[in-house]
């Protein structure tokens, strides 16, 4: 494939310490992979004949990755938003049969085409900010057919748009009304068998659950994880979002890719995650929407060296967010991350949270998934609110 040089750029490789900045840089790719990156003055003679595009001194970063979304769903939750403003809590609404279950009713009634059509504008909003890989969860079906339909819709998104889609099976998101008070039966009769069906159809890249008082306990999630392990699938978990339930320790015990939300995680949890190599996926959109006040233990994650990713958690209930840039800003303003941590959180660490080793940094051999920004300094990406400085989005070397 023809080589191309992106020259006259500031390149934040995120390879190595800090931003891994290369000033007056150039990057050579072959429409798929990065072949070389470094100061343009050092461009090897073997690449000098390739077509060159002048980047006008703009900033190139690895393309953002949204490693936690529920972007496939039907309907909206604007009424619930009003109820919460009138004083009802998220948990009260969920226990009264609203919340996740109202989205379940709408999603069960939607065809695969409806689900794709409703998800596309949300996906397009993310792509407009340079995102080249997203994770999409099931979890609004809570019955085999709809769980599989959600996963098929997610895969379809990756055929309709230039984006990599990783699908996550999240039947253990809530107990559906027909199993009210019988969560173990739901596990045995729906979650576990439908995982096998979805896996046999090639629809599952990872297995997730919601470990919470309004959802599933650690014993139930452990059964899900055992089933995932038997199929060779990686696991991750919505853990310690609303209260401390031991989900993070469980996730670490299973070598999970990530434990997500983790506001109520402790310093001991952080140590277990560090030892297991589990990424902390921070979701400031949900923290903001729920007006949560318990901050995730960022200092403990730093002290233990737990990689922190940031993601939108795009979902209709707790995080109707389709902006990775706003998520970076919230990560800094609400959680006290540095702009460098925020950028790492949506690139290097987001890739790791998805188990992807071929993207998230700029280095020879990795995919040419890049974002070109009309900014000088990488901190500007986190600084602004509601402004999109994306100049070009390059997916597998193609704009
Ligand atoms: N935690 C969340 O924040 C989302 N799911 C979860 O387990 C919320 C999903 C929803 O309210 O629709
Ligand atoms: Fe979530």
Residue 364: Cβ within 10 Å count? 14
Instruction: Kindly state the average pLDDT of the residues 199-215.
Output: 97
The residue assigned the tokens 């400031």 is: 284
Q: What is the pLDDT of residues 232-246, one digit of tens each?
A: 999 999 999 999 999
Q: Round to whole Å and give the CA distance between 111 and 97.
A: 23
Q: Whose CA is nearest to atom 11 of ligand 1?
A: 317
pTM of the model: 0.97
Ligand nearest to the CA of 313: 2
pLDDT band at 95 (very low <50, low <70, confident <90, very high): confident
Instruction: Kindly state the average pLDDT of the residues 8-12.
Output: 98
Distance 68 CA to ligand 2 centre (A): 6
The CB of 64 under 6 Å from ligand 1? The reply is no
Ligand nearest to the CA of 68: 2
Q: Round to whole Å and give the CA distance between 156 and 294.
A: 37
Beta pairing partners, 60:
11, 372
**pLDDT for 207:** 98
**pLDDT for 35:** 97
**pLDDT for 91:** 87
Is the per-residue pLDDT at 1 higher than 80? no
The residue assigned the tokens 């794709």 is: 116
Distance 34 CA to ligand 1 centre (A): 37
pLDDT band at 94 (very low <50, low <70, confident <90, very high): confident
Contact predicate 128/165, CB 8 Å: no
Is the per-residue pLDDT at 272 higher than 90? yes
Q: Which of 321, 350, 340 lies closest to 383, judged by CA?
A: 340
Residues with Cβ–ion distance below 5 A, ligand 2: 313
Is the per-residue pLDDT at 72 higher than 80? yes
Is the per-residue pLDDT at 96 higher than 90? no
Vertex 232: Cα angle to 229 and 236 (nearest 5): 60
Q: Which atom of ligand 1 is nearest to the CA of 103?
A: 12
Ligand nearest to the CA of 214: 1
Distance 28 CA to ligand 2 centre (A): 37
Instruction: Kindly state the average pLDDT of the residues 259-278.
Output: 98
Distance 108 CA to ligand 2 centre (A): 19
Q: What is the pLDDT of residues 348-398, one digit of tens each?
A: 999 999 999 999 999 999 999 999 999 999 999 999 999 999 999 999 999
What is the percent of the chain where pLDDT is above 90? 95
Ligand nearest to the CA of 93: 1
- Sign of torsion, CA 154 183 283 273? negative
Q: What is the pLDDT of residues 13-64, one digit of tens each?
A: 999 899 999 999 999 999 999 999 999 999 999 998 899 999 999 999 999 9
Which one-letter DSSP state was computed for residue 64? P
**pLDDT for 177:** 93
Half-sphere CA count of 45, side-chain side, radius 13 A: 0
What are the C-alpha distances in Å from 341 to residues 14, 255, 382?
Answer: 10, 23, 10
**pLDDT for 280:** 98
The CB of 284 under 6 Å from ligand 1? The reply is no
Q: Whose CA is nearest to atom 7 of ligand 1?
A: 210
Distance 313 CA to ligand 2 centre (A): 5
**pLDDT for 145:** 98
Ligand nearest to the CA of 289: 1
The CB of 316 under 6 Å from ligand 1? The reply is yes
Instruction: Kindly state the average pLDDT of the residues 107-134.
Output: 98
Distance 90 CA to ligand 2 centre (A): 14
Mutation probe of ligand 1 site: the residue of 98, 103, 262, 318 with most atoms within 8 A of C-beta? 318
Question: In the chain, which ranges are E strands?
Answer: 4-12, 21-29, 34-39, 51-54, 59-62, 65-66, 133-137, 164-172, 206-211, 236-239, 258-261, 279-282, 308-310, 370-373, 390-394
Q: Whose CA is nearest to atom 4 of ligand 1?
A: 318
Q: What is the pLDDT of residues 134-185, one digit of tens each?
A: 999 999 999 999 999 999 999 999 999 999 999 999 999 999 999 999 999 9
Distance 37 CA to ligand 2 centre (A): 36
The residue assigned the tokens 């190139």 is: 60
Q: Which atom of ligand 1 is nearest to the CA of 94?
A: 11
């Amino acid at each position: 494939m023809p080589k191309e040089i992106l020259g006259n750029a500031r390149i934040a490789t995120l390879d190595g310490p800090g931003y891994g900045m290369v000033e007056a840089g150039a990057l050579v790719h072959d429409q798929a992979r990065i072949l070389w990156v470094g100061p343009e003055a050092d461009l090897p003679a073997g690449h000098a004949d390739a077509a060159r595009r002048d980047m006008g001194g703009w900033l190139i970063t690895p393309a953002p990755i949204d490693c936690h979304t529920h972007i496939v769903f039907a309907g909206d939750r604007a009424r619930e938003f009003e109820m919460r403003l009138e004083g009802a809590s998220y948990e009260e609404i969920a226990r009264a049969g609203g919340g996740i279950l109202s989205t379940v009713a709408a999603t069960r009634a939607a065809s695969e085409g409806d689900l794709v059509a409703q998800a596309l504008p949300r996906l397009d909003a993310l792509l407009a900010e340079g995102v080249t890989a997203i994770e999409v969860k099931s979890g609004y079906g809570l019955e085999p057919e709809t769980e599989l339909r959600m996963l098929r819709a997610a895969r379809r998104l990756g055929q309709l748009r230039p984006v990599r889609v990783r699908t996550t099976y999240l039947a253990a998101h809530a107990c559906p009304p027909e199993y009210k008070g019988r969560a173990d039966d739901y596990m045995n009769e729906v979650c576990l068998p439908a995982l096998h069906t979805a896996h046999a159809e090639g629809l599952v890249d990872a297995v997730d659950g919601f470990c919470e008082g309004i959802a599933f306990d650690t014993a139930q999630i452990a059964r899900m994880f055992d089933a995932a392990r038997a199929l060779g699938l990686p696991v991750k978990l919505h853990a310690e979002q609303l209260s401390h339930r031991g989900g993070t320790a469980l996730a670490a015990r299973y070598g999970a890719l990530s434990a997500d939300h983790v506001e109520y995680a402790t310093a001991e949890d952080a140590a277990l995650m560090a030892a297991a190599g589990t990424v902390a996926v921070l979701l400031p959109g949900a923290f903001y929407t729920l007006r949560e006040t318990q901050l995730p233990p960022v200092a403990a994650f730093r002290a233990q060296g737990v990689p922190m990713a940031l993601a939108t958690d795009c979902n209709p209930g707790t995080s109707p967010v389709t902006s990775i840039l706003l998520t970076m800003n919230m990560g800094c303003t609400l959680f006290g991350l540095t702009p460098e941590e925020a950028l790492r959180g949506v690139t290097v660490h987001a890739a790791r949270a998805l188990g992807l080793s071929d993207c998230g940094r700029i280095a020879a051999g990795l995919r040419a998934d890049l974002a070109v920004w009309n900014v000088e300094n990488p901190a500007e990406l986190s600084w602004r609110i509601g402004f999109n400085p994306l100049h070009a989005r390059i997916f597998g070397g193609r704009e």
